[in-house]
Amino acid sequence: MWRTRLGVVGNHVRGDRNDDVCYSPEVRQAPSKALVVALESTIVSHGMPWPQNYSTAKEVEDIIRRAGAVPATICILKGKIHVGLTDDELRYIAQDATRMKKLSRRDVAHAMAMGLDGATTVASTMLLAHLVGIRVFVTGGIGGVHRSFLDTMDVSADLTELGRTPVTVVCAGAKSILDIPKTMEYLETQGVCVAAYKTDEFPAFYTAKSHVKAPCRFDSATDVARTMVCSLDALGASSGMVVGVPPPPLTRSSHRFEEAIERALREAQEKAITGAKETPFVLRRVAELTQGESLLVNMMLVKNNAQVGAEIARELFSMCNSKIG
């Protein structure tokens, strides 16, 4: 059961012999997929400007390595799924966002069939990580229910993916530009375990305070890994988990961040910017309105999440080896 459900002991798991999947040498040589940490590529191509995106991606990968795990940035290049990138490939996706199509779950098959280059979102990174047997995924923040939901019915595909894909997402909560209470309700409906890490309140990306209590709390990476094992092995659950890690402290008050978010959302509405283009626009405007502080926090929090995610992967690897042994 541990082999069939967790799919993480040894490298011969689903996707390894798939001609559409290209592994970096580092990922291919990993002793187990349990030790590999998936990273999305949209945060690199669309989430931060050059060259901060490249340097941050390199630092995140190094943090994971130093913590004893293996980083695997995931994207689509010339129609092939790449799990782990070389330095040249990472630089390629970071330098020019216009050549990288933003790919959610619905877009992956088309990008592969057409031989396109594409950056994966939270939803599509989960999809591809699960395909190859990776169980831990680190990102900045997840998508959610948009504040304009009643007018637009805009709900991120990240939430439905969490309800059907057994991957643990380590993040700084849902992005502050979203409706966090509604996001939490939606995740409950999807049967997703949502937990705060070493705190009781679910974080809100730029700030640790969302005023929304998390349903669960984890105080260690061991707690997270043990819960993953119970979910996958004992229950055979098909849903994922969200581990919300509070971001580093801000120098700017959360109230001033909220003002910047509100203004950016109004501007997006006035310019009729919707769908996949809305979040990048709003995040970029918030960075401008906060004189770059939101970008700094974004860079800091994803590094913080990488440390926690690597510790979880290391614990999962240890538990799997102990059980099999």
- Per-residue pLDDT, 250: 67
> For 116-125, 168-177, 241-250, 279-288, which range has the lowest pLDDT when averaged over its residues?
279-288
Q: Which pTM does this prediction carry?
A: 0.91
40 annotated active-site? yes
Choosing from 40, 278, 293, 315, the catalytic residue is: 40
What does the pLDDT read at residue 177?
A: 81
- Tens-digit pLDDT profile for residues 65-88: 999 999 999 999 999 999 999 999
Q: What is the dihedral of CA 309, 171, 226, 314, to 10 degrees?
A: 0
Is residue 104 predicted with pLDDT exceeding 80?
A: yes
Identify the active-site residue in 33, 102, 175, 303: 175
Cα(31)–Cα(27) distance, rounded to whole angstroms?
9
Nearest-angstrom CA–CA distance, 29 and 13? 14
Confidence at residue 253, expressed as pLDDT on a 0 to 100 scale: 62
Residue 218 to residues 126, 199, 258: CA-CA distances in angstroms?
21, 8, 27
325, pLDDT greater than 70 = no
pLDDT in tens, 273-283: 887 788 788 88
Has 175 been annotated as catalytic?
Answer: yes
Q: What is the pLDDT of residue 16?
A: 61
pLDDT: which is higher, 241 or 13: 241
What pLDDT score was predicted for residue 324? 54
Across the strands, what pairs with 169? Answer: 137, 242
Q: How confident is the model at residue 148 (pLDDT cuts 50, 70, 90)?
A: confident
Supply the pLDDT for residue 6.
53
**pLDDT for 10 beyond 60:** no
Q: What is the mean pLDDT of the chain?
A: 90
pLDDT (0 to 100) of residue 231 = 95
Cα separations in angstroms, 290 against 42, 56, 93, 256, 281? 22, 19, 26, 8, 14
pLDDT of residue 282: 86
Predicted confidence band of residue 153 (pLDDT cuts 50, 70, 90): confident
The pLDDT of residue 60: 98
